[in-house]
Amino acid sequence: MSNRRSNAVRPLRLATLAAAAGLLFALQAMPQTAAAQQRDPTRLITDTVANHASQHYAFQRFDVSSADGQRTWRVHVAAPKGAAPAGGWPAFWMLDGNAALIEFDDALLAELAAQPVPHALVFVGYANDLRIDSEARTRDYTPFAGERPVRDGGTIVGGGGADALLEIIERSIRPEVERRVATDPTQQTLWGHSLAGLFALHVLYTRTGAFDTYAAGSPSLWWGDGALLGAPEQRFVANNAGRQARVLIGLGEGERTREVAHRDLNDPRVQVHLRRIEAAPPDSAEKLAQRLSEVDGLQVEYRQFPALTHGPMFRASLMWALHAITGIADHSDTPSHADGVDPNR
């Protein structure tokens, strides 16, 4: 797809508009009280556990750039203190690494380090101070191009860089992680939320053995008019041939019921997004988990989180995955440090 097409403002698809007409009417009739609760795309990370000496983990940081020098990822790696097992530490990888770092405090590091075999932690983020780099993650976490909303209520075509990011992870990031920290190649978890959850499923479908566990929190199954629910899933199901993997899929109850009271419904960009998500039915994540559970070799768990909407699912799905994979207590119902809690309490 050419750059001209990728950057052109596009009208909404007629089919999408028709499918969402009832929803839009309902939205317009609701109170518009949630402007202050919208995600701030300019929010910065400040102090994190990576900036402080820890008794439990040793942090390192490095940057990796694309071959053309136009894209740079910042990776934080945290190794448990002490001698690694003979086969290396299990590794827990997190996308949106800048935002994921905020969710860790010293108490959580201590709990992780106290497990019989602690996990190394890998935070894959971007070389800036943004908590969430919306433009970069849309480019990197989507397997195919799709429409993104712009402020005036239109859309532009973007994304499609998932395979390129996966190459960066496999050829550049993973070798550098292994150079710095001894990790066990047979015990590797990939966690992601929203578009990053979509990316985790794409990796499961297309790169056999890249990880052994895939945790997708609130995966954006609507992206590209729900394309991942079609041919990519069907090819994977037909060709997995008993290969072993564990899959965790989580969704907030508010996402399932399409709760919108927390959104600013006067914002044209929000209106466009709410129409876009109609491309995947509300029960898509649960039904996907049911279908994948029937695939020979897969161990699949689905969890719905009471009352939670999409944003709070970032922390909830991360804490659930850490609980399920590392054995720590389940902290999925605790408040996010992004809301102002001291990460070093």
Which residue numbers are catalytic?
194, 255, 310
Sequence-ordered list of residues with C-beta below 8 angstroms from that of 164, at least 6 positions apart, any chain: 66, 140
Order across the sheet with 72-80: list the strands: 57-65, 72-80, 120-126, 89-94, 183-193, 213-217, 245-252, 298-305
SS3 assignment, position 124: strand
Helix (H) or strand (E) holding 57: strand 57-65
Report how far residue 326's alpha carbon sits from residue 334's, in angstroms, rounded to the nearest whole number.
18
- Range 34-42 contact pairs with CB under 8 angstroms and sequence separation of 24 or more: 34/261, 34/262, 34/263, 34/264, 34/265, 35/264, 35/266, 35/267, 37/262, 37/263, 37/264, 38/263, 38/264, 38/267, 38/270, 39/132, 39/311, 41/130, 41/132, 41/134, 42/130
Task: Mark 276-295 as b/e (b = at least 16 C-beta within 10 Å).
Answer: bbbbbeeebbbebbeebeeb
Report how far residue 37's alpha carbon sits from residue 30's, in angstroms, rounded to the nearest whole number.
16
The Cβ of residue 4 has, within 10 Å, a number of other Cβ atoms equal to 7
Q: What is the DSSP letter of 277?
A: G
Note whether 71 and 137 are within 8 A (CB): no
SS3 assignment, position 292: helix
Report how far residue 27's alpha carbon sits from residue 31's, in angstroms, rounded to the nearest whole number.
8
Helix (H) or strand (E) holding 23: helix 14-28
